[in-house]
Amino acid sequence: MTKEAETAVDAARLVEHIDTLDMPWVGGAEGSVTGKPLSHGIETKKLRVDPDTAEQSLLYTAQPQHGPPGIMKGKLGHPMIEEIFTLSGTYVFADAGMMGPGGYCWWRENEFHGPAGSLTGYNLFIRVVGGPLRNIFSDEPFPFTFTPKHNPSLPDDFKPYGQPYPYPAEY
C-alpha cells in the first residue's frame, strides 16, 4: 500500500472537531432525526450524519416536566442500534429505571423500551448505528411512571455496575 493510500481519507466521512457551544439548538422538522417534526420542547444539535448510511451522532435536549408524547402509549423500538449517554438532567424509562448524569444505555435492533419522560429535562448524547433512526411505536399500552423500579437488562458480569440513580431527591 502506498503512503498516499494509507493516509487517504474520505472527506465526506471525516469527523472534524466541532464546538457545540457555537451550534444552535434546532427544533421542528429541521432538528428531527427521523424526518418527522420533533415534539415541542425537544431540540437537537446534529454532530455527524454519515453520508452513506445516515448513521447519526447528536445532542438531544428536552424541557422538564413532560411525560411520554401522545404517540408513545407503550414501548418504542428502532430497526437500528441506539446508544444514549446522559450528559445532564434525568431521563426515565418506565420499563428500566431512571438515568442521571453519566447514565448510559443502548438497545440492539428492535429491542423495545420505554415509555419515556422527564421531570428535570435532560441533555443526551445519542449515537445511531446501522442506518437512519426510525421509530416503531408499540400499540400495546405500558404504564408510565416518573419513579420506575431500577430494572436494566444487563449481562451478569455488568450487573454490579448497573446501580439505581442515587439522587431521586431531585424530584
Length of the chain: 171
CA distance 7 to 29: 38
Q: Should residue 55 be labelled a site residue for Fe ion when binding is judged by CB under 5 A?
A: no
C-beta of 110 vs 167, nearer to Fe ion = 110
C-beta of 43 vs 133, nearer to Fe ion = 133
- By beta-carbon distance, which residue lies closest to Fe ion? 82
C-beta of 16 vs 140, nearer to Fe ion = 140
Residue 43: name the closest of 33, 35, 31, 55 by CA. 31
C-beta of 50 vs 83, nearer to Fe ion = 83
State the nearest-atom distance from the C-beta of 23 to Fe ion, in Å.
Answer: 23
- Give the range of 4-12, 77-85, 90-98, 147-155 binding Fe ion by CB under 5 A: 77-85
Q: Are 95 and 141 in contact (CB under 8 A)?
A: no
Residue 119: name the closest of 167, 68, 69, 64 by CA. 64
Interface with Fe ion: number of residues (CB under 5 A):
1
Owner of C-alpha cell 434525568: 90
List 66's β-bridge partners, or say none: 118
- Give the range of 24-32, 76-84, 94-102, 156-164 binding Fe ion by CB under 5 A: 76-84
Q: Should residue 95 be labelled a site residue for Fe ion when binding is judged by CB under 5 A?
A: no
Q: Should residue 82 be labelled a site residue for Fe ion when binding is judged by CB under 5 A?
A: yes
CB count, 10 Å around CB of 27? 17
At 29, list the grid cell.
422538522
| Contact residues: Fe ion, CB under 5 A | 82
